[in-house]
Amino acid sequence: MNYIFFILIAGSLAIGCINGTLSNVTNSMLEACDTAVKIAFSLIGIMAFWLGIMRIAEKAGLVKIIAKILEPIAKILFKDRGNNKNVTGDIAMSVAANALGLTNAATPIGLKVMKELQEDNKNKETATDSMCMFLGMNTAGFQIIPATVIAVLAGAGAKNPTDIILPTLIVTTLSFLTAIIAALILKKVWREHE
């Protein structure tokens, strides 16, 4: 990735020199850096708020309640998860973090889920059906409140950054359901070809 960025920057500077617009290129780069810092600072508040809410929910036992509600669904979707009951709570935390738009918070939780699912995996060289299902669900990233996107839009000066909520909800719901359906179908197709 560093090579790609280097090529893009070097190419922009070279084309700016050739066209005689090098000052425009450097001014644009400096403005973009300024905007990036503003957006990063606007993300700090929203991320701190929602991560705090997640921590409060975890300490208050809300995660266990959500895990109990999700248990029947988890039994269907994650049949080979083994006897580890904590994995359902961690899956609930990951889905909740994604639902709140906290993809940065969902990543370490997702890694923990995959580690727990790998412990119950009999063939350590191959991902289990549950691992594939979770990966699909986590990658689809169902979101109710796209907090990160709202923060980026607010930091960029959008007048109504919350207008993104409904389209995001529709699109992420469809992608989430598509990931689940695809994992279920591919599981059956894969089994037939073994």
Q: How confident is the model at residue 73 (pLDDT cuts 50, 70, 90)?
A: confident
Cα(191)–Cα(157) distance, integer angstroms: 51
What's the predicted TM-score (pTM) here? 0.67
Per-residue pLDDT tens digits for 133-164: 999 988 887 888 787 788 778 777 888 888 88
Per-residue pLDDT tens digits for 75-133: 788 877 766 667 877 887 788 777 776 777 778 888 888 898 888 888 888 888 889 89
State the average pLDDT over residues 47-76: 76
Could you tell me if 105 and 97 are in contact, meaning their C-beta atoms sit under 8 angstroms apart? yes
Place of tokens 């957006």: 39
How many domains does the chain fold into? 1
Per-residue pLDDT tens digits for 157-193: 888 888 888 998 899 999 999 999 999 898 888 776 5
Residues 96, 97, 103, 109, Cα dihedral to 10°: -100
Cα(114)–Cα(142) distance, integer angstroms: 18
State the average pLDDT over residues 14-27: 87
Domain span at 20:
2-192
- List the one residue out of 105, 91, 99, 92 whose CA is nearest residue 51: 105
Q: What pLDDT, on the 0 to 100 scale, is given for residue 56?
A: 85
Q: What is the CA radius of gyration of the chain?
A: 21
Cα(84)–Cα(120) distance, integer angstroms: 8
